[in-house]
Amino acid sequence: KAGVTQTPRYLIKTRGQQVTLSCSPISGHRSVSWYQQTPGQGLQFLFEYFSETQRNKGNFPGRFSGRQFSNSRSEMNVSTLELGDSALYLCASSLDLSMGLNYGYTFGSGTRLTVV
């Protein structure tokens, strides 16, 4: 079966611009989470969506936002980009059985964002 698909794979943006990243989860998975990976901070949780609702949010500024559509596809948006936003952004989907209990997360290939 198809895995988690993230687009685009690579992106170069200028400071101050905004960017939208897309994630299509595994068919049947309703939970989508986003993570930022940088050499300095490692892997950090951004937010999680389930059934079009943001269920959890990490400690990131309001410039980072997201949404989930009725087909479970998710987008994240970063406005007013800063150099420090350069990172690998990973999306993960999971089969969320009930009350947030799931049995593993499958990660997409990621979008590597470079802000110049």
Partner 1 sequence: ELKVEQNPLFLSMQEGKNYTIYCNYSTTSDRLYWYRQDPGKSLESLFVLLSNGAVKQEGRLMASLDTKARLSTLHITAAVHDLSATYFCAVDAGGADGLTFGKGTHLIIQP
Pick the piece of the chain touching partner 1 (CB under 8 A) from 15-23, 44-52, 69-77, 78-86. Answer: 44-52
The tally of CA atoms less than 13 A away on the side-chain side of residue 42 is 0
Q: What phi and psi values does residue 102 have, to the nearest 5 degrees?
A: -135, 175
Pick the piece of the chain touching partner 1 (CB under 8 A) from 11-19, 22-30, 54-62, 79-87. Answer: 54-62
Minimum CB separation from partner 1 for residue 73, in Å?
Answer: 18
Q: Given candidates 66, 108, 113, 115, which one binds partner 1 under the rule CB under 8 A?
A: 108
In the beta sheet, which residues pair with residue 105?
A: none
103 makes contact with partner 1 (CB under 8 A):
yes
Q: Given candidates 5, 20, 22, 58, which one binds partner 1 under the rule CB under 8 A?
A: 58
Burial class of residue 33, CB neighbours in 10 A (0-12, 13-18, 19+)? buried
The tally of CA atoms less than 13 A away on the side-chain side of residue 17 is 13
In the complex, the residues that contact partner 1 under the rule CB under 8 A are 33, 35, 42-48, 56-58, 90, 92, 100-101, 103-110
